[in-house]
Chain A
Amino acid sequence: MEPQLSWYLALSAILFTIGVTGVIIKRNIIAMFMCIELMLNAVNLTFVAFASFFQDVTGQLFVFIVMTVAAAEAAVGLGIIIAIFRNRETLDVDEASILKL
């Protein structure tokens, strides 16, 4: 059976929901960070699915942009995570609630 567009979209929605749920319920910053990456990749999946479906290369271009941004974000985000860990000796985001170090 030929894979349908809706399958990709459903998978993407499932991955995205897992990502959202993870961001909300996880306390560990690393886990939250990974969930954010998951959401980004769910969106990437949608882009390529549509690009293939419509035979349009624009969606694939967007995926590259998203990946670039995600890489930059990962670098900055991990830097912040390390800074917080050095100060607090913990990765629990609820401990970092006073908006300063």
Chain B
Amino acid sequence: MENNLLSLIIFAPLAGAVINWFVGRRLRDERFIGVVACGSVAVSAIVAFYLAFMSGGALRSETPVLDHIWTWLQVGTLHADFGLAMDRLSGTYALFITFVGFLIHLFAVGYMHGEEGFYRFFAFLNLFMFSMLTLVLGDNFVLMFVGWEGVGLCSYLLIGYYFDKKEAGDAAKKAFITNRIGDWGFVLGIMLTFFVTGSVSFFANPGAGEAAHTALSFFKNTPVEPFTAGAIVAGGATSIAVLLFIGAAGKSAQIPLYVWLPDAMAGPTPVSALIHAATMVTAGVYMIVRCSEIFVHAPTAMFIVAVIGAATALFAATIGLAQNDIKKVLAYSTISQLGYMFLACGMGAFIAAIFHVITHAFFKALLFLGSGSVIHGIQNEQDMRRMGGLRKYMPITWITMIAGWLAISGFPLFAGFFSKDEILWKTWSAPAFSMPSTGFSKFLWFIAALTAFLTAVYMTRMMVMTFWGGERFRETDESKHQEPDHHHGPVTPHESPWLMTVPLIVLAVLSTIGGFIGVPYAMSSVFTHQDVNVLEHTLEPVVASIPVATHGEPAAAAPAEGAHERAFVPAEEVAHLTHSPEEISAERWLALVSVLIGLAGIGIGWVIFQKRPLMQMPRILENKYYVDEIYDATLINPIESGSREGLWKIFDIGVLDGILHGLGDAVTELGRLARYLQAGFVRAYAAIILVGALILIGLFAWMGYPNP
């Protein structure tokens, strides 16, 4: 279905960015800039909701809403349009991006109050919304890549927003360069996809004269590749999937490319909330789910995704345990949760991954905005060792952050509980499709459960250090404030203005109840026999499933016939068909286990850190396993010194400059010799002419006159 309103979703923020950049910078009026920025995102959000839920809208029909804006590339068989498509997956994404994005814009108006570069900040933020929505709504790989690069650029610009601070500039460069490594994989993946399938489109668009199959549907008819390491270099679905995953790992901060995300906290806090927690970093998950048709034909790639995801989840969670900067804790927490999502993708639980993306967007945006409110309230202090006891001063921030804390810790009925539990269950029960054995999925489940425990511990630590305990923010740090600083006088924490608390409240509500969009049947069946897992039924038709019977039901039967109606008129029999009693009881037991894990984490964290909030954590964790130092020593320094000593001093100065200077010197030398011919002595010229004439005559005499 064509609907030209779709382009409004992406172009409204672009218009906002342009207006703020050209008009806002002259007016310097915060109210004008704020209204333009928030208003443009609000337009996007309203249009997105309308297109998703209107009759025949993206989330209510089987066919996507399309908007062909212009034919962009038409070279040979390569056909890439600047065209948008909103299907159930991209629609879901567009909804939470615009909605959470709007709330964060609102928050940022309050947070950035009085900043010098107010207009610049909002122009970039709107530009980011444009890029992110282009990424999500683009109907082919190439346009998706445009958005992909666009969000990378905006991330760079916004991390380096405080460009007068070297730390921010370095962090921005680090983020950009690390992402470049991932983008290399993504570009190669796109090229290989085109090479293999002859198409880069996601959706069949018969009117535009494209190939009969799309880049994704091509794989429907291909056999599943073998689960061997050799498949990675075979040039088929596995190779494509691995290359795409490299791109996803860069954007979504997975091992080994995660190092940029913690440093990205140098940007303003709303940026961390919007880009580095809620939206951009989940683009990798989106891309993998979008390409799930490719991934389900590449078990080796899925295995890699699952292992990297689980490793990242655990690794980042342990680091998060020992950070003292409130934003760093949240950054490592984000990496850890992203690892969860990739673990779900690798297990074939693509819908669970998307579910976690959505709930994570709610509660992590909430936590970041809450931390921003705290930082704002105690005059830009980010060190949790200098916080404490803030619940008296910032009650709204405190209560809303409690919702986020319980959500991420997996407290029952909060949003994070359902999504995290879903991932844990899917990991436990995964068939041996992308795993060497089912025992290995149990092992991954154990890692994920351990991560869940650590998550609860470090989030409790963060909350306790910030809001409970002694009030440490009045202590003056001698080394930090040597000269009397009127700005950092006796700190009196204050609650933030309504512009900042309203988004917090809305997000807190969503973090609390947002999980009910995806309640698994095993839990809802306690109360009702209707299957109320709305999210799963919404996404099921657009997400590929691994080609084995997952719920005791042949996979072929799953997508086609009216999954959509099931969401609204769920038949009891269908629910019984898809969920066998043994599985339901196993899932319930596992849910109980994860509840206990979460509660144990909260309890242990509470007991330890209430008593000793400033407890010294293991140094290796505090120093992030020295990964940055290892990268410096093994990669960055060799490259730098190689560039400096080899490329610069030898190649550039020696070879390139050598050639240029050599040419110049040769010409000079030639001129110096030729100078003798032009001495100005007329008789010398005459003598030269004579000699030349004699030589010619001599030649004729010697060789004879040439016969004509």
Contacts and interface: CB of A to CB of B under 8 A. Distances in A.
B690 A96 contact: no
Interface stretch (A3-11, A19-27, A45-53, A59-67): A19-27
Interface in A77-101: 93-94, 96-99
B679 interface: yes
Interface residues of B, number: 9
B680 interface: yes
B686 A23 contact: yes
A97 B681 contact: yes
Contact of A20 (B678, B682, B690): B690
B680 A98 contact: yes
A24 B694 CA distance: 14
Contacts of B687: 24
A93 B681 CA distance: 7
B683 interface: yes
Nearest to B679: A97
Interface string A1-37: 0000000000000000000100111110000100000
A32 B684 CA distance: 13
A93 B683 contact: yes
Contact of A93 (B678, B679, B682, B690): B682
Nearest to A36: B686
Interface residues of A, number: 13
Interface string B669-684: 0000000001111110
Given A20-B690, A24-B690, A99 B683 contact: no
B689 to A, nearest CB: 9
Contact of A94 (B678, B681, B686): B681
A12 to B, nearest CB: 15
A26 B683 CA distance: 8
B680 A23 contact: no
Contacts of A27: 683
Nearest to A23: B686
A97 to B, nearest CB: 3
Contacts of A98: 680
B681 A24 contact: no
B683 A24 contact: yes
A99 B686 contact: no
Contacts of A97: 679-682
A24 B686 contact: yes
Which 5 pairs across A and B sit closest by C-beta, in order of nearness? A97-B680, A93-B682, A23-B686, A99-B680, A24-B687
Interface of B: 678-683, 686-687, 690
14 contacts: A23-B683, A23-B686, A24-B687, A24-B690, A25-B683, A26-B683, A27-B683, A32-B682, A32-B683, A93-B682, A94-B683, A96-B680, A98-B680, A99-B680
